[in-house]
Structure 1
Amino acid sequence: MSLGKKELQGKRVLVFGSGISGIGAAKLLEAAEAQVVLYDGNEKLEIEAVRGKLPEASSCEIILGELTDQVISTLDLAVMSPGVPLDIPPVERMQAAGVPVWGEVELAYRMSEGTVLAITGTNGKTTTTALLGEIMKAYTDSVFVVGNIGNPYTEAALSMTEDSYTVAEISSFQLETAHTFAPHVSAILNITEDHLNRHHTMAEYIRVKELIAANQTKDDYCILNYEDEELRGFGSRCPAKVVFFSSQRKLEEGVYLDGTSIVFKKEAEEIELVRTEELKLLGQHNYENVMAAAAMAYCAGVPREIIRKAASAFRAVAHRIEFVEEIDGVAYYNDSKGTNPDAAIKGIQAMNRPTLLIGGGYDKESSYEEWIQSFDGKVKYLVLIGQTREKIEQAAHDCGFYQTILADSLEEAVKICAEKAQKGDAVLLSPACASWGQFDNYEQRGDCFKEYVRKLQK
Structure 2
Amino acid sequence: MIDTSKKFLVAGAGKSGVGSVNLLLKTGADVSLYDGKEDLEKEALYEKLYEKKEIPLILGNITKEDVSKFDLLVLSPGISVNAPIAQMFRDQEKPVWSEIELAYQASKGRIAAITGTNGKTTTTALTGEIMKGYYESSFVVGNIGIPYTSVALDTKEDSVTTAEISSFQLETIVDFKPDVCAVLNITPDHLDRHGTVEVYAQTKESIGKNQTKDQVMVLNYEDDTTRAMADRANGTVLFFSLHHKIKEGVSMEGDAFIIEENGKKQIVCTLDDVNLLGDHNYENILAAIAVTYSMGVPVSYIKEGIKRFKGVEHRIEYVDTVKGVAYYNDSKGTNPDAAIKGIKAMNRPTWLIGGGYDKKSTYDEWIEAFDGKVKELILMGVTAPKIADCAKTHGFDKIKFVDSMEEAVSYIAGKAQDGEAVLLSPACASWGMFPNYEVRGDIFKDCVRKLKEN
Normalising by structure 1, we get a TM-score of 0.97
Q: Measure how far apart 1:59 and its partner are.
A: 4.4
Q: Measure how far apart 1:268 and its partner are.
A: 1.1
SS of equivalent residue, structure 1 residue 25: helix
Residue number in structure 2 paired with 1:375:
370
Distance 1:13 1:379 in 2: 52
Note the aligned Cα RMSD (angstroms): 1.0
Residue number in structure 2 paired with 1:274:
269
SS of equivalent residue, structure 1 residue 356: strand
Q: Measure how far apart 1:333 and its partner are.
A: 0.2
Question: Is the 1:347–1:430 contact (alpha carbons within 8 Å) kept by the matching residues of 2?
Answer: yes
Alignment of 1:81 with 2:57, yes or no, is no
Distance 1:307 1:55 in 2: 37
Alignment of 1:42 with 2:37, yes or no, is yes
SS of equivalent residue, structure 1 residue 381: strand
Distance 1:346 1:276 in 2: 18
Pick the aligned partner of 2:313 from 294, 314, 318.
318
Mapping 1:16-35, distance limit 5 Å: 16-35=11-30
Alignment of 1:422 with 2:412, yes or no, is no
Q: Measure how far apart 1:49 and its partner are.
A: 2.2
Q: Measure how far apart 1:99 and its partner are.
A: 2.2
SS of equivalent residue, structure 1 residue 227: coil
In the alignment, residue 250 of structure 1 is paired with which amino acid? Answer: K
In the alignment, residue 281 of structure 1 is paired with which amino acid? Answer: L
In the alignment, residue 399 of structure 1 is paired with which amino acid? Answer: H
Question: Is the 2:26–2:50 contact (alpha carbons within 8 Å) kept by the matching residues of 1?
Answer: no
Question: Is the 1:47–1:64 contact (alpha carbons within 8 Å) kept by the matching residues of 2?
Answer: no
In the alignment, residue 77 of structure 2 is paired with which amino acid? Answer: P
Residue number in structure 1 paired with 2:200:
205
| Structure 2 residues not aligned, in runs of 5+ | none
Distance 2:95 2:174 in 1: 10
Q: Measure how far apart 1:90 and its partner are.
A: 2.3
Alignment of 1:411 with 2:424, yes or no, is no
Pick the aligned partner of 2:168 from 149, 166, 173.
173
In the alignment, residue 418 of structure 2 is paired with which amino acid? Answer: K
Count of aligned positions: 453
Residue number in structure 2 paired with 1:456:
451
Residue number in structure 1 paired with 2:228:
233
Distance 1:426 1:94 in 2: 52
Distance 1:393 1:278 in 2: 40
In the alignment, residue 240 of structure 2 is paired with which amino acid? Answer: F
Q: Measure how far apart 1:29 and its partner are.
A: 1.0
Distance 1:64 1:397 in 2: 47
In the alignment, residue 159 of structure 1 is paired with which amino acid? Answer: D
SS of equivalent residue, structure 2 residue 328: strand
Question: Is the 2:25–2:50 contact (alpha carbons within 8 Å) kept by the matching residues of 1?
Answer: no
More divergent stretch after superposition (66-75 vs 324-333): 66-75
SS of equivalent residue, structure 1 residue 236: helix
SS of equivalent residue, structure 2 residue 51: coil
More divergent stretch after superposition (408-417 vs 118-127): 408-417
Pick the aligned partner of 1:433 from 428, 436, 440.
428
Alignment of 1:291 with 2:292, yes or no, is no
| Structure 1 residues not aligned, in runs of 5+ | none
More divergent stretch after superposition (115-124 vs 95-104): 95-104
Pick the aligned partner of 1:443 from 421, 438, 441.
438
CA deviations 1:191-245 (Å, max 9, x no partner) are 0010000101001000000011101111001111000001111112211111111
In the alignment, residue 445 of structure 1 is paired with which amino acid? Answer: R
Residue number in structure 2 paired with 1:94:
89
Residue number in structure 2 paired with 1:385:
380
Question: Is the 1:10–1:33 contact (alpha carbons within 8 Å) kept by the matching residues of 2?
Answer: no
More divergent stretch after superposition (128-137 vs 56-65): 56-65
Residue number in structure 1 paired with 2:48:
53
Question: Is the 2:350–2:422 contact (alpha carbons within 8 Å) kept by the matching residues of 1?
Answer: yes
SS of equivalent residue, structure 1 residue 318: coil
Q: Measure how far apart 1:46 and its partner are.
A: 2.1
In the alignment, residue 357 of structure 2 is paired with which amino acid? Answer: Y
SS of equivalent residue, structure 2 residue 48: coil
Distance 2:142 2:172 in 1: 14
Distance 2:86 2:215 in 1: 33
Question: Is the 1:213–1:222 contact (alpha carbons within 8 Å) kept by the matching residues of 2?
Answer: yes
Pick the aligned partner of 1:242 from 225, 230, 237.
237
Distance 1:197 1:68 in 2: 26
Alignment of 1:119 with 2:88, yes or no, is no
The percentage of aligned residue pairs carrying the same residue is: 54
In the alignment, residue 172 of structure 2 is paired with which amino acid? Answer: T
SS of equivalent residue, structure 2 residue 332: coil
CA deviations 1:38-97 (Å, max 9, x no partner) are 111012322222222213352421221111222111110000111111122222222212
Alignment of 1:358 with 2:353, yes or no, is yes
Distance 2:451 2:38 in 1: 41
Residue number in structure 1 paired with 2:303:
308
Distance 1:415 1:155 in 2: 40
CA deviations 1:308-349 (Å, max 9, x no partner) are 111012101000000001001100000001010000000000
Pick the aligned partner of 2:149 from 143, 147, 154.
154
Q: Measure how far apart 1:394 and its partner are.
A: 0.8
Residue number in structure 2 paired with 1:338:
333
Q: Measure how far apart 1:132 and its partner are.
A: 0.6
CA deviations 1:289-315 (Å, max 9, x no partner) are 011101111111111111011101210
Question: Is the 2:107–2:155 contact (alpha carbons within 8 Å) kept by the matching residues of 1?
Answer: yes
Alignment of 1:219 with 2:187, yes or no, is no
Question: Is the 2:339–2:425 contact (alpha carbons within 8 Å) kept by the matching residues of 1?
Answer: yes
In the alignment, residue 270 of structure 1 is paired with which amino acid? Answer: K
Normalising by structure 2, we get a TM-score of 0.98
Pick the aligned partner of 1:255 from 250, 256, 259.
250
More divergent stretch after superposition (39-48 vs 363-372): 39-48
In the alignment, residue 179 of structure 1 is paired with which amino acid? Answer: V
SS of equivalent residue, structure 1 residue 331: strand
In the alignment, residue 315 of structure 1 is paired with which amino acid? Answer: K
Structure 1 runs (4+) deviating above 6 angstroms are: none
